[in-house]
Amino acid sequence: MITAGDFRNGVTFEMDGQPMQVVEFQHVKPGKGAAFVRTKMKNVITGAVVETSFNPTAKFEEAFVERKSMEYSYNDGNLYYFMDPESYDLIPIDESKLGENFRFVTENMTCTVMSYKGNVFSVDPPTFVDLEVTDTEPGFAGNTATNTTKPATLETGAEIKVPLFINIGDRIRIDTRVGEYLERSKG
């Protein structure tokens, strides 16, 4: 059990059967009346953010969100299979649990699979990935100083904007959090 007086940023607890994570907290002791804890918390599964005040003695069950590194193997229809590196078990995860940023993941890439009480609710790809450009308009020498971009299709089928000097066959680094080009890959 955890009390509201023990809240710190990042603490996860269960409220009304939902896992919540403390985003911000403030212990308030007004001149008159009882002290309270003003809390901004996020539902770990839905991402909804709520602000609430609690009595510092309010008790909550701790919530344990399991984060496990698993290797993406393949997909079959709406099911995407991930391999547990310890047991080598293949775990099917429904397409609805994958975020928009999963479009940058290739086979054999390690992702973080998050679950609560055995139910998978989210799959996070690596923050940065190196992918090959499979289709784009040809680049021209001297187009390095401008801020102009062009569309490019990556080996996963995802489409992003890249600088004019990027050509087909180039490997580029992408930030999967925002889905943007960062730089040419080294090596």
CATH of the domain at 27: 2.30.30.30
- Number of structural domains (the chain) is 3
Find the CATH number of the domain harbouring 176.
2.40.50.140
The answer to whether residues 47 and 94 belong to one domain is: no
pLDDT at 83: 92
Q: Is 45 exposed, middle or buried (CB count within 10 Å of its CB: 0-12, 13-18, 19+)?
A: middle
The answer to whether residues 111 and 142 belong to one domain is: no
- Residue linked to tokens 């090959």: 132
Domain that residue 43 falls in: 2-62
Exposure pattern of 79-91 as b/e (b: 16+ CB <10 Å)?
ebbbbeeeeeeeb
The token pair that represents 132 in the structure block: 């090959």
Contacts of 80 by beta carbon, 8 Å cutoff, 6+ apart: 72, 74, 92, 93, 94, 95, 98, 123
- pTM comes to 0.72
Lowest mean pLDDT among 12-21, 134-143, 154-163: 134-143
pLDDT at 117: 84
Q: Would you list the DSSP string of 51-79?
A: EEEE-TT-EEEE--EEEEEEEEEEEETTE
- Per residue in 114-131, pLDDT (tens digit) is 888 888 888 889 989 999
Query: Which residue, 124, 143, 161, sits at the end of a domain?
Result: 124
The answer to whether residues 14 and 47 belong to one domain is: yes
Query: Which residue, 15, 36, 62, sits at the end of a domain?
Result: 62
